[in-house]
Structure 1
């Protein structure tokens, strides 16, 4: 069972309505599915989770990138423009300060190491993240997790995801009403 399904079992408490959806590793599906998910659920926050073979920690991605998509997806497709949204900003940052989330979770004694990255890898994870950040005015996050058992179990990762998401929601609550600059200058 994936860490996202384990998180669904754990839940986020009575105050938070958690919806879990699987997004295929396909550029065109991302372009059609994400707008309908945002429209259907009207979420306060969307947190994407992807497995990275290179990750050894739970990695919080700070921003999504618009250009540089050259690898073929699971349907052997790649955007001709090599970008996510023609005319869109090069980079969109999450409204959430990932460094703060990282510090808080790491100091909570959870037993799972968390780090921050500013490059989600210019493949479907980055593409999905950028699309979601664009659609949600920055109210999105992307978390890369290591493969199961390397070194964490699905249960460990679910506990870490739960802690991360709750910290993100807490930060969003604290920052209500503050103006955010989403696009890098």
Structure 2
């Protein structure tokens, strides 16, 4: 059985030194936090064995070093692959309409957004949406109605014509 009190004492006594060690290797506070957290997680998983070592902190430093090197190698391999192959060429450009629709969907309440996406993009019926979301069919109808009303406003330009969203119309008028 793992002794959480002993582990807590070990953590408290060593975390500053381990963090300083890892930060000196990485120079990045966020990376340091991730590596140290993962190293202590592994120490806890193997605490029965690690606590018996003459120097558990040395074991932890070794683990942290290996985690850091592993992360560095993965990142380096990713950069190398990107240099070799470049960016993906088959990705289509996002249309202005698509970007406007996604921005408008983000601007409505989550339950309305989910209902609209399930109904229009996934193609579920009102009954299927009700079953999947755990709400009554009448609630789904209400969510769809409110979402359509709100989206109509968001996806209408300042002249009242459907098309360009109001937030793009304001940006265009400020450039003129």
Does TM, normalized by the shorter one, top 0.5?
Answer: no
TM-score class, shorter-chain normalisation, is under 0.3
Q: TM (normalized to structure 1)?
A: 0.24
> By percentage of residues, which structure has more helix?
2
Q: TM (normalized to structure 2)?
A: 0.25
- From the CA coordinates, give the structure whose radius of gyration is larger: 2
> By percentage of residues, which structure has more strand?
1
